[in-house]
Structure 1
Amino acid sequence: MTFKAFTDYLLLEKNYSKLTVKAYQSDIESFQNFITNHYKSKSITNVNYPQIRTWIVSLVETGLTNRTINRKISSLNTYYKFLLKVGDISQNPLSKHRALKTSKKVQIPFSEQEIKTVLDDLNFDNSFEGLRNKLIIELFYSTGIRRIELVELKTSSIDIFAKTVKVLGKRNKERIVPLLNSVKETLKKYLEARNNLTIITDSGHLLLTKKGVKIYETLVYRIINDYFSQASAKVKKSPHILRHSFATHLLNQGADLNAVKELLGHTSLAATQVYTHNSITELKKVHLKAHPRSKK
């Protein structure tokens, strides 16, 4: 069975995105290179767990986090499960592997005031880049979109009149997210500036660099970090923190958990519930303030 059969399985049967499949491929190729270099083997179909364990130790020694190592092992495990399914191997060498322990990351959202400071008090000029940067921040905070989802937005994804954006999420699952009036106005100004670019190479994509090509993830991260560094002392200032802020602020204002789940594009409610801890804090304040026996 060829490796292409595996990637086709991920794309067509599992409905994984091309980006996810590329990550799987990279992880498995990394293991293949290790096996070739250390054991002079050209095939990873007949390796044993001790050999995999040696690879894991080498990954730890390079300084990778346990979370990243677990992801790489998960990719390899998925491959072995596929080979087992099609009958290319009789036993999965990772069947008894236990994931490395990882500490839970505490994601601290931006406060409403910090976001207000960025959007209302910082200077966004009317240049192409100024309008684009403001639109990126507004899209993140008003839709809860993921970074890769934002990068891949098409001009056809936006319906200005209906005030909606069509987002292509994980496993190519589409969702429709409403746009606020303020975002609509910024969007219109951005599109006008975009149309005035001298060269547009990636005309299908909504968000471009000033050279007319599709915006890229590291630039998006840098934009968020640069602007929020002027308004927040938090250690982590990233697109994901804006997504986290979107969900937390909605829940703080009484939004239904299921509705937030749909807006975020989560497949299960459990994934959305990680955002509720701040909401519980707000509920406690309201409860303490409003309950007739709170003063007793």
Structure 2
Amino acid sequence: MGTPSADQHPWGAVVARYGDYLSLQRGYSEHTVRAYLGDVTDLLGFLAGRGRTDLAEVGLPDLRRWLAAQQADGAASATLARRAGAARGFFAWAKDNRIVPTDVAGGLKSPKVGRALPQTITQADARELMDAAAAAAAESEGPKGARDVAILEVLYGSGIRVGELCGLDVGDIDAGSGTARVLGKGNKERVVPLGAPALTAVDAWLAQRGQWARPASGHAMFLGVRGGRIDPAVVRRVVHAALRAIPQAPDIGPHGLRHAMATHLLEGGADLRSVQEMLGHASLATTQIYTHISDERLRAAYNQAHPRA
């Protein structure tokens, strides 16, 4: 189903106001705002195409028909759940701003989505990954090898997101306390610990950073080859390339290193609340998925090793 632009239906100004609210008041990232507005624009385009010219005329059956049409087009349950959430958020805001008299989307239910366990790597895989990256860096010329090792060590050592890593400035890492100051989702700041290998790798990269640094580099911690702040796509290429050197490891990407960090912490005895704070999860329920990964591994080891499994 195509998504019309905001000016292709009667409520373009309302959509723009909602976008400002999401960005300025809720502090959502540009990517998140774009996703929400895409869903809302699709909904309003659907309604306009069926003669709804006044938001006050929209009812819950209209919203259900919108979801049903997408389901008939083959939309996945996760997509439907996301779009139902977008509709609820928009109409709740519209009621608060007296654009509609009632919140008709409050009763719009999301389809249940089965949550797949994320792929991850073992602790042995992680050690092999870092050793292989360090060996490759030792044989390379220029700062790229040192930068790539530092990226891998920081991602795995701290569990931060790709966007958070790209946003790091040099002053955000405090070697004395072994921590990094991170700006996460919703512009929420948190401090995460970094281990000795990550700090050592960062020092090695900073010793060579000047070879790429330009006046436009500012205080960015990680740089691209032209001296600009590193792009998330470059970080993903670094991680995928490093993982290809470990044949038995799944190609999990940068977010998979975040999963691995959380899983390995829990396997080592860390408490769930501490892991939640390190990852920057708003809800403990989001963090609990990693306990299922640990449980699965424990069960697999039991089934393989116990004579009466």
- TM-score class, shorter: 0.7 to 0.9
CA distance in 2, matches of 1:128, 1:221: 18
Partner of 1:16: 28
Which amino acid in 2 is paired with 1:28? Answer: V
Partner of 2:43: 31
Which amino acid in 1 is paired with 2:101? Answer: S
TM-score by length of 2: 0.79
CA distance in 2, matches of 1:70, 1:151: 30
Q: Does 1:159 align with 2:174?
A: yes
CA distance in 1, matches of 2:194, 2:16: 40
CA distance in 2, matches of 1:234, 1:116: 11
Report if aligned partners of 2:81, 2:113 keep a CA contact under 8 Å in 1.
no
Q: What are the superposed Cα offsets for residues 69-105 of structure 1, whole Å, 9 maximum, x if unpaired?
A: 3223312320110111222112334333221332221
Which amino acid in 2 is paired with 1:168? Answer: L
CA distance in 1, matches of 2:53, 2:46: 10
Deviation at 1:141, TM superposition (A): 0.7
RMSD over equivalenced CA pairs, Å? 3.2
Q: Aligned pairs, how many?
A: 289
Partner of 2:129: 118
CA distance in 2, matches of 1:186, 1:40: 61
Matches within 5 A, 1:27-66: 27-35=39-47, 38-39=49-50, 46-57=57-68, 59-60=70-71, 64-66=75-77
Which amino acid in 2 is paired with 1:21? Answer: V
Bigger shift: residues 38-47 or 68-77: 38-47
Unaligned runs of 5+ in 2: 1-12
Matches within 5 A, 1:1-296: 2-11=14-23, 13-35=25-47, 38-39=49-50, 46-57=57-68, 59-60=70-71, 64-122=75-133, 123-124=136-137, 125-197=140-212, 199=214, 201-233=216-248, 235-280=250-295
Q: What are the superposed Cα offsets for residues 81-130 of structure 1, whole Å, 9 maximum, x if unpaired?
A: 01112221123343332213322212232011111111102423353322
Deviation at 1:187, TM superposition (A): 1.0
CA distance in 2, matches of 1:235, 1:171: 31
Partner of 1:291: none
Change (3 A) 1:284 1:74: closer
Change (3 A) 1:39 1:287: closer
Report if aligned partners of 2:84, 2:109 keep a CA contact under 8 Å in 1.
no
Bigger shift: residues 67-76 or 77-86: 67-76
Deviation at 1:52, TM superposition (A): 3.8
TM-score by length of 1: 0.82
CA distance in 2, matches of 1:216, 1:55: 36
CA distance in 1, matches of 2:204, 2:279: 26
Deviation at 1:17, TM superposition (A): 4.0
